[in-house]
Amino acid sequence: MFQYKIPISLYIHMPWCVHKCPYCDFNSHTVKKIPDYEAYIDNLIKDLQQDVVMCPDRSIHSIFIGGGTPSLFSAELIAKLLTKVKQVIPINKDAEITIEANPNSVDVDRFNGYQQAGINRISIGVQSFQANKLKNLGRIHNPEEAINAGTLAHNLNLRSFNLDLMHGLPNQSIDDALYDLKQAIEIAPPHLSWYQLTIEPNTLFGSKPPVLPDDDNLWEIYQQGHQLLTDHGYQQYETSAYAKPDFQCQHNLNYWRFGDYLGIGCGAHGKITRSNGEIIRTIKTRHPRGYLEGRYLDRSYIVAKEELPFEFFMNRFRLFEIVPKHEFEQRTFLPLQAVNRQINFAIEKNYLIESEYGWQVTEQGKLFLNSLLEIFL
């Protein structure tokens, strides 16, 4: 049956932060008084119980606990959460289970506790190893805490851990950007997320934009940074993700391969494929107040068939791997003929190359990814 061909993951959103960063447009809420974290866990499970009726007889491929700052939650509460999740829906024995952590909210006991709770991958929001850059970004940790958190994760012998780094920061030189990467490489994470700072609306930076490096400097930062990571054994497998061989983030791969996922918690998004081929998207209530009152689902809708090619390729073309043709049919329930015209046009523009097996984005296609995607709109 199709259910077993489409992996399903679970995203769990923890909405609270100690401080809202000026570039952040995620659904996060500054802690003014200590929230009832245990009540939130209980509501997460009730939310999950409502969702699982849409996906019977399926088991979880990966779990990602994001935020906000999930590391504000104690190891005991994370253990309670994962125990209760297992009671609602089976979790594969080899499932990747990730929690995001801020460098200033972790210590040896907390990291050990997360591991004992079932966490086997930690993603640490470093962003930079330079004090002035962290200050400009509104981060509340310092470089020493970032190095310490990465070293702790390295010494835990987890399945994997990730460091989040940004480039294209206010007043950042090429040397600054390379310094951050070199510091990260010294810690030797199996996975590195290295992404460019973008100014989003409805953020403090959106209303008061800082001075960012110009396009020429951004390109030079990317070129030199990419070479540095490649020279140290990291492979770029996604637009902003690098990993040592076999250490790609399985949860994110499932997103980009147009897999299914349940999204629970404030503002979380979900995608479920029904046995009749309908794809349902869910969006949960954003504010903790309403969520804690039991109003979990904000809205849900069925994705129109004519929108499926764009949705599929918008995700799939982020990955630097061949897109199997059978996967398009399997995950959209559409025949290949539905995109023949667009595919041929993309090939003519030198955005794609085609084989009997699948499609591959060319170097030209990577440079003009938005133009490539617009073909499928």
Q: Where are the domains of the chain?
A: 2-254, 323-377
Distance from C-alpha of 115 to C-alpha of 308, rounded to nearest angstrom = 38
pLDDT of residue 106: 80
Mean predicted lDDT score pLDDT of the chain: 93
Give me 236's structure tokens: 């770029």
Q: What is the pLDDT of residue 307?
A: 96
- Is residue 106 left, alpha or beta, with left meaning phi > 0 and alpha meaning psi from -120 to 50? beta
Q: Does 206 have pLDDT greater than 80?
A: no
Distance CA 377, CA 371 (A): 10
How far apart are the C-alpha atoms of 28 and 26, rounded to whole Å? 6
In this structure, whether the domain defined by 2-254 belongs to CATH 3.20.20.70 is answered with yes
Residue 1 banded pLDDT, cuts 50, 70, 90: very low
Among 72, 80, 59, CA closest to 10? 59
Confidence at residue 17, expressed as pLDDT on a 0 to 100 scale: 85
SS3 content of the chain, % helix, strand, coil (to 5): 45, 25, 35
Q: Kindly tell me if the per-residue pLDDT of 177 is higher than 60.
A: yes
pTM reported for the whole predicted model: 0.94
Q: DSSP character for 302?
A: E
The two tokens of residue 209 are: 């934009």
Residue among 96, 88, 101, 42 nearest 64 (CA): 96
Type of residue at 128: S
Spatial distance between the Cα atoms of 270 and 8, rounded to a whole number of angstroms: 10
Helix (H, G, I), strand (E, B) or coil at 18: coil
Phi-psi region of 252 (alpha: psi -120 to 50; beta: other; left: phi over 0): alpha
pLDDT digits (tens, 9 = 90+) for 215-266: 999 999 999 999 999 999 999 999 999 999 999 999 999 999 999 999 999 9
pLDDT band at 3 (very low <50, low <70, confident <90, very high): very low
First-to-last CA distance in the chain?
Answer: 30
79: tokens are: 């253990």
